[in-house]
């Protein structure tokens, strides 16, 4: 048998194949225990184990028969006869040998393929392997309410066809990263994002009745005392209730009706036309009256049916503005309110930071240290520890939100929930989207929320409710 094997495989190409398969096989055996570890090791070991190892293994498997075929082809062309075919016992032993090795190869092969596929769907592969490119999204993700939800749950979702689509577009992305042809920043909205129905709604039941959600938000002033003010209200999230659809989710997410719109810019921020089909099928067309678009612009604009993402476009990649980041860090005590003018100075330091991330972080520290050194030397002495942790918190806000290598800075990615910092709901609810019969998309403040206090330093409603310590501001939405 050995003789036949040597004859069959007695060529350089097949020998290389045998060496590759054996090496990959031994390596696989060696790494076998780590396949059961749900947390992949370091990214580079992961790439080696889940991508390079299968590649070597299958390359080897293909080289073996290819070598034999090429070798025989050459011999025939040179007029030589092929090798003597084995007979009798020899043939039986050879067949058993091939059967056993094939079964082994199928086991190893399917296992490494399974490993590779699972690995490519892991948060680590998506978030860390192209470190610079994904750094903004991966960083914001880690701070978000979805930090335990895998990237693929929102970006790919269940089912084979999206899996294949994602692997095809993924290959393009790998090439773009290799040759540095990727766009900076990564453009948003994601053009081929799967409909929210098939991703978000796997976990969130859209018609669930949330009712009115109570919220308290703390803001700090730019005065010496960093005076805190509170905004308190009820957000009318609604949903499907006994009385029918109610509130924000009621009409937008739980209703049988639907809303289509045309956006004339690529970030979906300019919406000159909205087409509303109510639950009974009645269609109303609203056109912007203060910024009407030409028919040609409407034709070429993006036509889209509204879903979760049109409001919740930052459920996970939440990028803050300096003021928001500071209000949050101050409300949860990372930055002491006792440091005079800390809000104002930190905003200036964050907005003025220059250079790459390390330089900018160092610059923020220098700027704040210099400020307290020259203006409040006694504070620098008496509150040294508080100042130190405040500086660290301000640096963290910068590092969470600004990524010069990807050209991501304050406000690069608009957030569509709300209307204070970006157009958001007011892209349509601005009171200037009217139908032919003069109805408008409602703009009344109480359509969406009942404000119980707006920026008050001592709101009566909180005293009445006995809330002495308002909850810290949350990372994601307004409700906490
Ligand atoms: C809870 C769902 C969710 C999870 C989990 C999630 N994303 Fe996203 N991602 C989104 C949404 C929604 C958008 C924006 C879609 C839009 O505006 O079209 C987005 C956008 C992006 C973008 C485009 C740039 C941008 O910021 O708009 C990238 C890149 C991205 N995500 C990468 C990732 C990576 C990497 C992970 C895992 C570490 C991840 N995402 C996890 C929902 C999610
Ligand atoms: C795999 C399940 C899963 C998927 C898919 C998912 N979510 Fe979530 N989502 C959660 C969980 C769990 C929470 C609660 C997190 C917590 O309270 O800590 C949550 C919380 C939220 C919240 C409340 C955030 C806050 O600030 O408290 C919003 C809004 C939300 N999700 C929107 C979305 C949207 C939009 C999508 C689709 C792009 C989506 N989710 C996809 C599981 C999921
Ligand atoms: C693409 C346009 C568009 C955007 C963006 C949009 N809406 Fe709407 N919204 C509509 C239309 C159209 C209606 C139906 C108006 C009508 O009843 O005639 C509506 C209705 C509503 C209603 C029900 C009003 C009522 O009379 O009961 C609420 C509440 C609401 N929207 C909240 C929001 C919130 C909150 C946001 C932002 C997070 C938002 N909408 C963003 C188009 C939009
Ligand atoms: C179409 C719905 C809608 C309408 C109409 C609307 N708002 Fe809002 N508003 C929102 C949403 C949603 C948020 C929450 C944004 C967030 O989560 O940060 C918000 C947030 C706010 C906040 C910020 C709270 C804070 O401290 O961060 C203020 C203030 C506010 N609205 C005032 C108004 C006023 C005044 C009007 C009337 C002119 C109005 N809103 C009309 C939906 C609406
Ligand atoms: C018209 C805009 C709009 C649409 C469309 C929309 N939402 Fe919301 N959603 C809101 C607002 C506003 C809030 C209140 C929280 C805030 O201000 O951040 C909210 C709150 C939530 C919450 C947290 C509230 C709770 O029940 O605890 C979840 C989860 C959520 N939305 C999921 C979804 C999902 C899933 C979809 C798609 C089926 C969706 N939303 C569609 C505007 C919208």
Give the SS3 label for residue 480.
coil
With respect to residue 278, please indicate whether it lies within any of the assigned structural domains. Answer: yes
With respect to residue 198, please indicate whether it lies within any of the assigned structural domains. Answer: no
Tell me if 364 CB under 6 Å of ligand 5.
no
With respect to residue 472, please indicate whether it lies within any of the assigned structural domains. Answer: no
pLDDT at 1: 57
Q: Are residues 73 and 131 in the same domain?
A: no
Structure tokens at 373: 């050194």
Q: Are 304 and 268 in contact (CB under 8 A)?
A: yes
Q: Are residues 115 and 15 in the same domain?
A: yes
d(Cα 480, Cα 471) in Å, to the nearest integer? 8
Report which ligand 1 atom has the smallest distance to the Cα of 319.
26
Q: Which domain holds residue 261?
A: 211-315+416-465
pLDDT at 430: 96
Q: Are residues 102 and 235 in the same domain?
A: no
Q: Are residues 69 and 181 in the same domain?
A: no
d(Cα 236, Cα 444) in Å, to the nearest integer? 13
pLDDT at 18: 86
Tell me if 15 CB under 6 Å of ligand 5.
no
Residues in the chain, pLDDT under 70 = 1-9, 36-44, 81-86, 476-480
pLDDT at 353: 96
Report the 10 Å Cβ neighbour count for 102. 12
Nearest CA to ligand 1 atom 18: 189
Q: Are residues 350 and 297 in the same domain?
A: no
Tell me if 429 CB under 6 Å of ligand 4.
yes
Report which ligand 2 atom has the smallest distance to the Cα of 480.
27
Is the four-CA dihedral 103, 107, 112, 113 of positive or negative sign? Answer: positive
pLDDT at 480: 36
Q: Which residue has the tokens 């907005």?
A: 351
With respect to residue 470, please indicate whether it lies within any of the assigned structural domains. Answer: no
User: If 0-12 CB within 10 Å is exposed, 13-18 middle and 19+ buried, where does residue 354 land?
Assistant: exposed
Q: Are residues 309 and 421 in the same domain?
A: yes
Cα angle 45-47-53, degrees, rounded to a multiple of 5? 95
Q: Are residues 111 and 138 in the same domain?
A: no
With respect to residue 202, please indicate whether it lies within any of the assigned structural domains. Answer: no
Tell me if 186 CB under 6 Å of ligand 4.
no
Report which ligand 4 atom has the smallest distance to the Cα of 479.
17
Report which ligand 1 atom has the smallest distance to the Cα of 187.
24
pLDDT at 85: 64
pLDDT at 9: 58
d(Cα 17, Cα 64) in Å, to the nearest integer? 5
With respect to residue 66, please indicate whether it lies within any of the assigned structural domains. Answer: yes
Q: Are residues 160 and 242 in the same domain?
A: no
CA distances (Å), 274 to each of 14, 163, 435, in order? Answer: 65, 33, 9
Strands 449-456 and 302-305: unpaired
With respect to residue 98, please indicate whether it lies within any of the assigned structural domains. Answer: yes
Q: Are residues 106 and 189 in the same domain?
A: no
Q: Are residues 111 and 8 in the same domain?
A: yes
pLDDT at 6: 63
pLDDT at 269: 96
Domain count within the chain: 4
Nearest CA to ligand 5 atom 36: 308
Q: Distance, CA 128 to ligand 3 centroid (Å)?
A: 38
Q: Distance, CA 249 to ligand 5 centroid (Å)?
A: 6
d(Cα 322, Cα 342) in Å, to the nearest integer? 13
d(Cα 390, Cα 327) in Å, to the nearest integer? 12
Q: Are residues 300 and 445 in the same domain?
A: yes
In the listed set 96, 120, 144, which residue is the last one of a domain according to the structure? 120
With respect to residue 476, please indicate whether it lies within any of the assigned structural domains. Answer: no
Structure tokens at 329: 């860090």
Ligand 2 neighbours, Cβ below 6 Å, are 145-146, 149, 153-154, 196, 199-200, 202-204, 308, 312, 315, 474, 476-477
Q: Which of 359, 447, 342 is nearest to 405 (CA)?
A: 359
Structure tokens at 74: 């050459």
Q: Which of 334, 332, 318 is nearest to 414 (CA)?
A: 318
d(Cα 73, Cα 345) in Å, to the nearest integer? 79
Nearest CA to ligand 4 atom 29: 454
pLDDT at 194: 86
Q: Are residues 245 and 386 in the same domain?
A: no
pLDDT at 390: 97
In the listed set 384, 406, 428, which residue is the last one of a domain according to the structure? 406
């Amino acid at each position: 048998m050995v003789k036949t094997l040597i004859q069959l495989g007695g060529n350089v190409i097949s020998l290389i194949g045998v060496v590759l398969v054996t090496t990959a096989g031994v390596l696989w055996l060696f790494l076998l225990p780590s396949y059961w570890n749900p947390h992949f090791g370091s990214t580079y070991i992961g790439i080696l184990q889940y991508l390079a190892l299968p590649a070597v293994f299958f390359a080897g498997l293909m080289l073996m028969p290819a070598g034999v075929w090429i070798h025989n082809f050459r011999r025939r062309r040179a007029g030589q006869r092929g090798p003597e075919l084995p007979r009798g016992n020899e043939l039986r032993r050879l067949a058993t040998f091939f059967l056993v090795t094939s079964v082994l190869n199928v086991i190893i092969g399917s296992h490494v393929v399974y490993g590779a596929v699972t690995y490519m769907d892991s948060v680590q592969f998506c978030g860390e392997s192209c470190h610079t490119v994904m750094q903004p999204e991966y960083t914001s993700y880690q701070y978000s309410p979805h930090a335990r939800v895998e990237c693929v749950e929102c970006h790919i979702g269940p089912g084979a066809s999206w899996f294949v689509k994602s692997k095809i577009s993924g290959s393009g992305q790998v090439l773009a990263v290799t040759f540095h042809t990727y766009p900076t920043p990564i453009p948003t909205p994601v053009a081929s994002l799967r409909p929210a129905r098939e991703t978000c709604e796997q976990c969130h039941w859209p018609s669930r009745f949330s009712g009115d959600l109570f919220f308290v938000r703390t803001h700090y002033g730019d005065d010496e005392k960093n005076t805190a003010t509170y905004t308190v209200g009820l957000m009318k999230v609604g949903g499907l209730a006994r009385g029918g659809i109610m509130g924000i989710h009621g009409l937008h997410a739980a209703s049988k009706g639907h809303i289509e719109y045309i956006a004339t810019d690529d970030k979906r921020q300019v919406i000159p036309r909205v087409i509303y089909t109510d639950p009974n099928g009645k269609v109303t067309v609203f056109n912007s009256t203060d910024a009407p678009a030409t028919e040609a612009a409407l034709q070429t604009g993006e036509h889209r049916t509204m879903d979760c993402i049109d409001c919740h476009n930052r459920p996970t990649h939440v990028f803050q503005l300096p003021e928001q980041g500071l209000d949050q860090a101050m409300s949860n005590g990372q930055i002491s309110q006792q440091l005079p003018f800390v809000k104002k100075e930190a905003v200036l330091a964050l907005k003025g930071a220059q250079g790459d991330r390390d330089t900018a972080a160092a610059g923020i520290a220098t700027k704040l240290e210099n400020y307290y050194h020259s203006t409040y030397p006694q504070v620098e002495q008496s509150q040294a520890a508080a100042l130190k942790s405040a500086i660290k918190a301000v640096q963290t806000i910068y590092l969470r939100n600004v990524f010069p290598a990807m050209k991501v800075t304050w406000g690069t990615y608009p957030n569509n929930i709300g209307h204070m910092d970006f157009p958001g709901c007011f892209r349509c609810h601005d009171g200037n989207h009217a139908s032919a019969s003069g109805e408008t998309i409602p703009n009344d403040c109480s359509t969406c929320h009942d404000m119980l206090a707006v920026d008050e330093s001592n709101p009566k409603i909180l005293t009445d409710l006995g809330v002495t310590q308002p909850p810290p501001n949350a990372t994601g939405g307004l409700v906490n």
